């Protein structure tokens, strides 16, 4: 069973994703801030981290950089989620460090499960 950490400050979206993933056979932990997410990522073993780019505390983009640069031993796949319209340069920078990039408004919970099913651990 794949273990997923959801870092999402919008409770409704976090719960929506969580229910779909649990129904899809995933083990799920949800936190609302980047700081909480980083603490769990460093102390837990997650196969996938679903990371909102705009969360309170440590922003998703800074979380991503910190994991990639300071903690290369963390092998979790990091999928960035956002509803922001990012510039092409910002998006390319995120995609370079992240293992995936999803626009929340364009992905249903069932499509999220299908997407994560295809992520190789």
What is the value of pTM for the model shown? 0.92
Question: Taking the domains of the chain in order of start, what are their residue ranges?
Answer: 3-113
CATH of domain 3-113: 3.40.50.2300
Residue-averaged pLDDT of the chain: 92
Q: What is the pLDDT of residue 84?
A: 72
- State pLDDT tens for residues 48-91: 999 999 999 999 989 999 999 999 999 999 999 988 766 666 66
Would you state the pLDDT for residue 35? 97
In the chain, pLDDT over 90 holds for what percent of residues?
74
- Encode 48-92 in three state secondary structure: EEEEECCCCCCCHHHHHHHHHHHCCCCCCEEEEEECCCCCHHHHH
């Amino acid at each position: 069973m794949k273990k997923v950490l959801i870092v999402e400050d919008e409770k409704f979206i976090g719960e929506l994703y969580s229910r779909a993933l649990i129904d899809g056979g995933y083990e799920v932990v949800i936190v609302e801030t980047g700081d909480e997410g980083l603490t769990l990522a460093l102390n837990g073993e997650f196969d996938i981290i679903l990371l909102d780019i705009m969360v309170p505390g440590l922003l998703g983009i800074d979380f991503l950089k910190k994991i990639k640069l300071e903690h290369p031993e963390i092998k979790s796949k990091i999928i960035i989620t956002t509803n922001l319209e990012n510039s092409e340069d910002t998006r390319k920078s995120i995609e370079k460090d992240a293992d995936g990039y999803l626009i929340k408004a364009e992905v249903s919970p069932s499509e999220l499960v299908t997407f994560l099913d295809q992520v190789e651990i």
